[in-house]
Amino acid sequence: MLLQLPKGVLPEGQFSESELLIELAIALYANGKISFGQAHKLAGMDWFSFRKLLAERKVPYHYDEEDLFDDLKAIESFPPDADCK
């Protein structure tokens, strides 16, 4: 996908392409348009770095009841004798 911005919308040289992708990823995630996984990939950042950036920007982590149930199902799928230490 090619995104073209109208001239003069952003001051010349103020943002690099990677900085714009990070800002776009944060905005889309904060507005619930993309998942955390999609957002950190769009930003070109690893999971921990992107999570830290969201915390610094005070962007809440989206974790709802459905996510909790999915996590509980995943935990229940472990064998009873699995060593999860």
Kindly calculate the radius of gyration of the chain based on its CA atoms and give it in whole angstroms.
Answer: 18
Domain count of the chain? 1
**Interatomic CA distance for residues 31 and 69, integer angstroms:** 23
Identify the pLDDT of residue 8: 83
pLDDT class for 37, splitting at 50, 70, 90? confident
Position 82 in a domain: no
The answer, yes or no, to whether residue 67 has pLDDT greater than 80, is no
Angle at CA of residue 49, ends 47 and 52, nearest 5°: 105
The answer, yes or no, to whether residue 51 has pLDDT greater than 90, is yes
Position 4 in a domain: no
Q: Who has greater pLDDT, 45 or 72?
A: 45
Mean of the pLDDT values across residues 39-64? 93
Position 54 in a domain: yes
Residue 55, domain extent:
17-76
What phi and psi values does residue 48 have, to the nearest 5 degrees? Answer: -65, -40
Identify the pLDDT of residue 82: 61
